[in-house]
Amino acid sequence: MNSMTVFSQITESWVNAPCSLSRIKRRSAIWMAAYLTGSLIVFSLFVWLLNENELAIKNALLAYFFPQSWISISEQLANFLFESQTKTVIGNAILGASLVISSMLMFPVKEKYSAEFEKDANYSNGPSQEFPLWLQAWEEVKLFLFYVTAQAVILWLGYYPYNWTNWLSIVLSYLFLFFAFGLDFISPTLQRHRTAYSLILKILLKKPLLTLSFGVIFSLPVILLSHYIFNLPQLSLIEVASILFLTNVLFLTLAVPAGTRVASRLMPIVSETPPPAKNTKIKIYSITIIILIASLFLHTRLIASLHHKSQILKANYSVDWSSIDYKFPSLSQLFNGNALSNLSFDMVIDNPTEFDIVIEESQIFVEKFDSLIATIDLSGFEVPAGQSRKIKLTLDSNSNLGQIEQLDQVLQGWRVDLQFELWPGIPFIVNIAE
């Protein structure tokens, strides 16, 4: 097994594993039906709860972030976190979520289903040495934390409005989905023979092509479905997720015996592979926890920052027109080089809400066909809940309209990005217009 070629690894996952379904007999067929029925019940209940409470959840979130009079605009702003991601990343995240939900809620049934198929197929893996049920549950919790950590990093990359970050998030979402799929369905048989997740990961990483190709064959049909239904404008995100959840149940059910076949082929190298050293496991767990905490912190800061900024829609304003001070460049400066301008004025902001208004020092970048046309610096300010503050707003800009070379395309290729700091030294960029 250690000397498996690329061709034999793909053959094992794409041919031998699916063909092993023909070895299902009466006992494993009963547990297959139990797993399929149980998964359908679990996901149907989950889908029903989502659909029944969709409007309530949506209204509660919009009411928390935005005033009632701004509903039409608030819905567009509330879609930022969704629309900043590519549909591929969202679709893969939904499939990964269904995988994790199934693993955590159906793992005892999946284990029994896999064990019965192992007997029916007469795989010579030796006697079973099950971990205690609580330890199996703990292993599933660790898998869940692994999933959350990876998904949080992938989503964070997808927030940034750059082509390279979008492509990186897409590639990572595919790789993670395929690997997680392989790990989830190959591991039960190995665990049943006293192999912990740490050693399973080490073994699977030795054969990444085997693991990834297994994930491809059983997740690709639903991926193709997700690409299709995401282009149906009449379907909401919850309806899309519901369809993918329920469809994926069939392929999750078929993947259990196929994963048992692959795991049985991997059994010979289990005894040959020493488990990771204790120090190595501690380092891996520590790094994972640090990444998870940092990712959750950044996501939390982003939500909090958007929430604080959203309160500005509910405030009352009064401009002191006599305080306006400005310095504008000449037209020749605008077209012949970098032109500096400055505008400042006093404004009284009354914050009637129960939340603070916080606007960090920010920059707006205006680009045309990837050429920087202008940079605008915005001064930050803060207005505590229920109070009024007199704020001096300063807008400094640096413009160079000489970058616009083709006047017949003056209205094309514009892009406006807002950059602010979620935390000192940690910038975040929001695409305002494109």
Give the side-chain half-sphere CA count within 13 A for 39. 30
Per-residue confidence (pLDDT) for residue 323, from 0 to 100: 83
pLDDT at res. 357: 80
- Report residue 420 as tokens: 């602010």
pLDDT of residue 73: 45
Q: Which amino acid is residue 24, in one-letter code?
A: I
3-state secondary structure of 156: helix
CA 366 distance to own-chain centroid: 28
User: What is the C-alpha to C-alpha distance for residues 185 and 212, in angstroms, rounded to an integer?
Assistant: 12
Q: Which burial class, exposed, middle or buried, applies to 211 when counting CB atoms under 10 A from its CB (0-12, 13-18, 19+)?
A: buried
Cα separation of 366 and 415, whole Å?
6
CA distance 226 to 240: 8
Under 8 Å between Cβ of 417 and 387: no
Helix (H) or strand (E) holding 394: strand 388-399
d(CA 306, CA 398): 26
Can you state the angle between helices 54-65 and 26-52, rounded to 10 degrees? Answer: 50
Q: How far is CA 103 from CA 221, 243, 344, in A?
A: 20, 19, 57
Helix (H) or strand (E) holding 18: helix 17-19
How far from the centroid of its chain's Cα atoms is residue 85's Cα?
8
What residues of the chain score a pLDDT lower than 70? 1-3, 54-55, 57-85, 161, 306-313, 328-343, 368-369, 373-374, 393, 395-413, 422-427, 430-434
Q: Provide CB contacts within 8 A for 106, sequence distance 6+.
A: 35, 38, 39, 42
Instruction: Calculate the alpha carbon distances from 59 to 56, 96, 261, 347 in Å.
Output: 5, 27, 48, 32
**pLDDT at 397 (0 to 100):** 62
Sign of the C-alpha dihedral, residues 184, 186, 187, 189? positive
Q: Where are the beta strands (DSSP E) in 150-294?
A: none
The token duo for 129 is 């040495």
Nearest CA to 215 among 268, 251, 179?
179
Alpha helices in 271-385 (DSSP H): 278-310, 331-336
Q: List C-alpha distances in Å: 112 to 183, 190, 312.
A: 17, 13, 56
Q: Is 194 left (phi over 0), alpha (psi -120 to 50) or beta?
A: left
Residue 109: predicted pLDDT: 92
